Amino acid sequence: MLAEWLGKPEPSEEDIPKYLRNMGPYAKFLIQYFLETMYPMLHIRLTPEQFKKFEEAVVKKFGKYSPFNAKAAASEAIDNWAEQILG
């Protein structure tokens, strides 16, 4: 049953095909989708000033602002902050 692996704290790539048969040529993308939807998500609101600084920093580092570049910058910022705090 699908809920069996959905209830696992961290299902693996090997767990999913056992419950989803005949995924055909889309198997790789479906597995990736199911795994990524279980990742923790962090939603934050930025003040206009915070967003302007963030946008300028993204453009400076990546050359343009896009959702992909914003995600990369936010992930990098989280990693750097955690490393700084945790040592």
Task: Evaluate if residue 44 carries a pLDDT over 80.
Answer: yes
Residue 41 belongs to a domain: no
Residue 62 belongs to a domain: yes
Residue 41 token pair: 């998500």
Q: Which domain holds residue 76?
A: 48-86
If one compares 52 and 43, the residue with the highest pLDDT of the two is 52
Q: Is the dihedral of CA 44, 47, 49, 55 positive or negative?
A: positive
Is residue 62 within 8 Å of 69, Cβ to Cβ? yes
53 and 79 inside one domain: yes
53 and 81 inside one domain: yes
Per-residue pLDDT reduced to its tens digit, 17-36: 777 777 788 888 888 888 88
For the chain, what is the domain count?
A: 2
Residue 61 belongs to a domain: yes
